[in-house]
């Protein structure tokens, strides 16, 4: 729609994988290509979120750069989209504090994602209260910063995968609370734009989602991988021992269904259509060969461009500086008004 502000970030905590691509970046690209007047597009790295878990400084720098290169090589046009690093716009952190002051511990405690991350860092035998005892406040407060990220631009639409819907609910609650407490209509209620692609699961353990933070690299297909590597990983993907025709059954056949999800995401056809298209396939090997072929084809040119971009750090820096300047223009204007509303 016209005069919208479309906003989303990606964490620079690892290499960008096909889940991020199908669940986020590719749909950002499509949104940015819709003809609309006065609409702003802001996409970037959530580098302040990345440090809620310990990460080496050099590696963080590298992942930030890789994320921007992935956004551009996936088709986001830096002339049309504001591409930037979250940390370069200090207004995010300022609004984060104002929102923290109106967030209850109960609200944070009901968020489920920090719990799974906190547990990841612990041995599973530790009791619940012990986990809370050792959890960093940044991890707990993460969804508040996420709300600040979105609201500092008065964003109207936030395209994300469904793992993020709960956090966006909190964002709307905070926007509403702020408007109510300060008797204002300043913040619009941002809408969640759920990406049509299904959640992509780990190749080796299709009961978990594919994630950058997965230490098992054979579980992820990275958008920058060689065709040999892609083919090897797909060949080793966990499926099942059911013989004959393949069919879609996320519960009974999570591995096979995950491969069908990838195909449906890449071809932008519904699951039903995809399954009909796959009737010629007689066994797992044919299915895997077909998936491999589609992925390799999708990423071939993007990977080439990505390599070129990473060899031109000066260009990437320039894009990020331009992005920062444009983002700050919006953010600093909004934060001035927010201070006024609060009485600061
Ligand atoms: P990750 O969990 O891999 O670190 P992020 O938290 O940075 O990913 O998420 C970036 C975007 O990618 C979000 O919009 C999220 O919904 C989407 N996303 C992440 N993992 C997946 C997945 N496995 N399948 C589909 N979308 C995903
Ligand atoms: Na995530």
Q: Is 200 in the pocket of ligand 1 (CB under 6 A)?
A: yes
Task: Inform me whether the pLDDT recorded for 251 exceeds 70.
Answer: yes
Residue-wise pLDDT for 44-93, tens only, equals 999 999 999 899 999 999 999 999 999 999 999 999 999 999 999 999 99
Q: Is residue 213 part of a domain?
A: no
Q: Does 118 share its domain with 192?
A: yes
Quick: pLDDT tens for 228-245.
Answer: 999 999 999 999 999 888
The answer to whether the CB of 117 is under 6 A from ligand 1 is no
CA distances (Å), origin 86, targets 67, 145, 186, 226, 248: 12, 10, 22, 30, 39
Determine the 3-state secondary structure of 85 from DSSP. Answer: strand
- The CATH number given to whatever domain includes residue 24 is 3.40.50.620
Containing domain of residue 126, as a range? 5-199+313-342
Average pLDDT of every residue of the chain: 93
pTM here? Answer: 0.93
Residues 325 and 284 in one domain: no
Examine residue 246 and state whether it is found in any structural domain, yes or no.
yes
Q: Are 184 and 287 in a shared domain? A: no
Residue 167 reports pLDDT greater than 90: no
In this prediction, residue 339 has a pLDDT band, given cuts at 50, 70 and 90, of: very high
Rounded Cα–Cα distance for residues 147 and 320 (Å): 22
CB 219 within 8 A of CB 42: no
| Closest CA to ligand 1's atom 16 | 161
- The pLDDT value recorded for residue 121 is 59
Position 1 pLDDT exceeds 90 = no
ipTM for the complex? 0.95
84 vs 113, which has greater pLDDT?
84
125 pLDDT higher than 60:
no
pLDDT above 70 covers a percentage of the chain that reads 97
Phi-psi region of 75 (alpha: psi -120 to 50; beta: other; left: phi over 0): left
- Give percent of the chain above pLDDT 90: 82
Residue 166: what pLDDT?
84
Residue 214 lies in a domain: no
By most ligand atoms within 8 Å of CB, the mutation choice from 13, 19, 86, 215 for ligand 1 is: 19
How much is the average pLDDT of 162-170?
Answer: 86
CATH number for the domain that contains residue 283: 1.10.240.10
Residue with more model confidence, 185 or 35: 185
């Amino acid at each position: 729609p016209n005069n919208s502000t479309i906003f989303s970030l990606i964490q620079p905590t690892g290499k960008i994988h096909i889940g991020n691509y199908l669940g986020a970046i590719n749909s950002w690209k499509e949104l940015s290509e819709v003809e609309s007047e006065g609409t702003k597009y802001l996409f970037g790295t959530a580098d302040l979120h990345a440090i809620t878990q310990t990460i080496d400084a050099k590696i963080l720098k590298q992942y930030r750069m890789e994320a921007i290169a992935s956004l551009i090589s996936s088709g986001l046009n830096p002339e049309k989209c504001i591409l930037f690093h979250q940390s370069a716009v200090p207004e995010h952190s300022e609004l984060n504090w104002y929102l923290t002051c109106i967030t209850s511990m109960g609200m944070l405690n009901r968020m489920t994602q920090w719990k799974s991350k906190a547990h990841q860092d612990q041995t599973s035998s530790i009791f619940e209260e012990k986990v809370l005892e050792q959890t960093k406040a940044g991890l707990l407060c993460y969804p508040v910063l996420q709300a600040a990220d979105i609201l500092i631009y008065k964003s109207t639409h936030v395209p994300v995968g469904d793992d993020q819907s709960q956090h966006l609910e909190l964002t709307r609650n905070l926007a509403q609370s702020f408007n109510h407490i300060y008797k204002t209509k300043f913040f619009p209620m941002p809408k969640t734009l759920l990406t049509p692609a299904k959640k992509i699961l780990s190749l080796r353990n299709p009961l978990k989602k594919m994630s950058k933070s997965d230490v098992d690299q054979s579980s992820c297909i990275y958008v920058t991988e060689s065709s040999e590597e892609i083919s090897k990983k797909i060949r080793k993907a966990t499926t099942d021992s059911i013989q004959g025709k393949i069919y879609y059954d996320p519960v009974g056949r999570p591995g096979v269904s995950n491969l069908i999800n990838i195909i449906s995401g890449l071809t932008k056809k519904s699951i039903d259509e995809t399954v009909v298209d796959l009737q010629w396939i007689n066994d797992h090997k044919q299915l895997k060969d077909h998936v491999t072929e589609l992925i390799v084809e999708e990423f071939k040119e993007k990977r080439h461009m990505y390599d070129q971009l990473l060899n031109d750090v000066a260009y990437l820096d320039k894009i990020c500086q331009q992005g920062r300047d444009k983002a700050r223009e919006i953010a600093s204007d909004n934060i001035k008004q927010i201070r006024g509303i609060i009485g600061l």
